[in-house]
């Protein structure tokens, strides 16, 4: 079992990573300060909220951890202020900022995926591997889906580079290593590293799952 302190540290790391990612997306879509903060916060806590609602943990745990919401708010605000002060450079560094965003997004995805599986297993669902992995994936990708809906974009997880697949692989590895081998630390490190590597490689080499195109240029 992950220690409470380690679990909390992981949640805080994921919160910062997803807050940065969400607020950068909001800024890129020309949202104002309030919009950037809202999108940043929902990206950070949205997946965990969905997970808690599914397992009947209501109100969601985030409402009992004000430091998580505060950290998300402060992080999103800081990103907006830095971008606003350096707005001219921001416009000319879109490609570089996108790469930075991918890194933060990969870290958030990895950390929250593992946290989601751990919460599921410590909530009485350790024998149900499908549910534990599913809740891990939801925790990892849920905030990003809410983010994309808020900025009126097709959810990234459903349309572009391999994303949820990385979470599924990492969650599965963590579930088996932690559940059947009792190697929690090794499972945590392995799962997080695996998700980050798959996500970054998918972004770099533009790995995508097959899809059917019905636009004119492919007829």
pLDDT tens column, 151-189: 999 888 888 778 899 999 999 999 999 988 878 889 999
In SS3 terms, 158-189 reads as HHCCCCHHHHHHHHHHHHHHHHHCCCHHHHHH
Calpha distance 167→114 (Å, rounded) = 9
Residue 110 lies inside a defined structural domain of this protein: yes
Calpha distance 16→21 (Å, rounded) = 9
Residue 19 lies inside a defined structural domain of this protein: yes
Q: How many domains does the chain have?
A: 1
Q: What is the pLDDT of residue 202?
A: 92
Length of the chain: 219
pLDDT band with cut points at 50, 70 and 90 for residue 3 = low
Which DSSP state fits 45?
Answer: H
pLDDT tens column, 81-129: 999 998 877 777 777 888 888 999 999 999 999 999 999 999 999 999 9
Residue 216 lies inside a defined structural domain of this protein: no
Domain hosting residue 36, numbered range: 4-205
Residue 210 lies inside a defined structural domain of this protein: no
Prediction pTM value: 0.90
Q: What is the pLDDT of residue 216?
A: 55
Span 132-151, average pLDDT: 96
Which residues, in sequence order, are CB contacts of 128 under 8 Å at separation 6+?
A: none
Residue 42 lies inside a defined structural domain of this protein: yes
Residue 99 lies inside a defined structural domain of this protein: yes
Residue 147 lies inside a defined structural domain of this protein: yes
Residue 215 lies inside a defined structural domain of this protein: no
């Amino acid at each position: 079992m992950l220690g409470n302190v380690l679990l909390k540290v992981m949640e805080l790391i994921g919160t910062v990573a997803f807050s940065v990612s969400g607020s950068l997306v909001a800024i890129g879509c020309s949202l104002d300060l309030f919009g950037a903060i809202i999108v940043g916060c929902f990206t950070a806590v949205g997946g965990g909220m969905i997970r808690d609602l599914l397992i009947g943990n209501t109100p969601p745990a985030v409402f009992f951890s004000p430091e998580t919401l505060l950290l998300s708010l402060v992080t999103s605000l800081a990103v907006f202020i830095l971008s606003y002060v350096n707005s001219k450079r921001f416009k000319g560094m879109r490609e570089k900022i996108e790469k930075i965003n991918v890194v933060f997004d990969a870290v958030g995805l990895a950390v929250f995926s593992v946290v989601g599986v751990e919460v599921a297993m410590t909530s009485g669902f350790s024998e149900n591997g499908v549910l534990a992995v599913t809740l891990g994936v939801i925790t990892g990708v849920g905030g990003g889906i809410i983010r994309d809906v808020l900025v009126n974009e097709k959810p990234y997880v459903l349309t572009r580079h391999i994303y949820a697949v990385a979470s599924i692989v990492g969650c599965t590895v963590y579930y088996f290593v932690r559940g059947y081998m009792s190697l929690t630390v090794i499972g945590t490190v392995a799962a997080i590293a695996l998700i980050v590597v798959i996500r970054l490689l998918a972004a770099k080499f533009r790995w995508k799952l097959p899809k059917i195109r019905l636009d004119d240029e492919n007829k």
